[in-house]
Structure formats: structure tokens, C-alpha cells
């Protein structure tokens, strides 16, 4: 899974199709992500010291990672993501459409360095 917390994504399937939002949490075992403002559901909460009013809270639920696509930081459009090695041997994510760098995944490794 090449999506990270804080990435901006576009929902491509489901009720919230076309909605953009930030990734809040990842569940790597279940291949699911929680996106800000997407797939909201009501949670009924009993009165307590923390929540004296009680009632219904609206919260974001997880969606499948296959139902979202990353937004390219350069063009602002949806894109697939690839991984490439740089000349010093470090690994980075990049947008397939524009080739824009999207952050480093691993530090320099002499094994993959190009001379």
C-alpha cells in the first residue's frame, strides 16, 4: 500500500464518489483507509463525564483502499503511484502521470546506488 497518512485522495467508488479528503488513518491488515469527511456514520453515545450530552456522533468509517486514488501534488488530478530508486540508492514514491516526487520511502542504500 503506497498511501500514507496525510495524503490527499479522491474517492472513486461508492456513495461519496468524487469527494476529496485527507487520509486520517490506515489499516494495513484489512487494506482500509479512513478519509476525512467520507463514509460518515452515526455512533450512539451514552452520557458520561467525557460526553455529558450523549446522543449521536457522526464519525468517519473506513473505506477500502481500492476505492480511493491519490491526488498528484503537481497537477491536482488523480494518479497512480509508482516506486523508483534515485541515484544515491534511496527509494521514493512518484506520480505515474506527471512523474512528480511524492516523498521518500527509504534512505540511501549502496546496493541500489547508480554510479
Does the reported pTM lie above 0.95? Answer: no
Q: How far apart are CA 83 and CA 11, in angstroms?
A: 22
Backbone angles phi, psi at 110, to 5 degrees: -60, -25
CA-atom Rg of the chain in angstroms:
18
Q: pLDDT by residue for the chain (115 residues), tens digit each? A: 889 999 999 999 999 999 999 999 999 999 999 999 999 999 999 999 988 888 998 999 999 999 999 999 899 999 999 999 988 888 999 999 999 998 888 888 888 888 6
Tracing cell 501534488 back to the chain, one arrives at 73
Q: Which three cell numbers stand for residue 85?
A: 530508486
Amino acid at each position: 500500500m503506497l498511501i500514507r497518512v496525510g495524503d490527499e485522495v479522491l474517492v472513486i467508488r461508492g456513495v461519496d464518489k468524487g469527494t476529496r479528503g485527507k487520509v486520517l488513518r490506515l489499516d494495513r491488515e484489512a487494506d482500509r483507509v479512513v478519509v476525512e469527511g467520507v463514509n460518515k456514520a452515526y455512533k450512539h453515545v451514552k452520557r458520561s463525564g467525557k460526553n455529558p450530552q450523549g446522543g449521536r456522533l457522526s464519525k468517519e468509517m473506513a473505506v477500502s483502499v481500492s476505492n480511493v486514488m491519490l491526488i498528484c501534488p503537481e497537477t491536482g488530478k488523480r494518479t497512480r503511484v509508482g516506486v523508483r530508486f534515485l541515484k544515491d540508492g534511496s527509494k521514493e514514491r512518484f506520480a505515474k502521470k506527471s512523474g512528480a516526487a511524492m516523498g521518500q520511502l527509504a534512505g540511501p542504500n549502496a546496493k541500489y546506488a547508480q554510479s
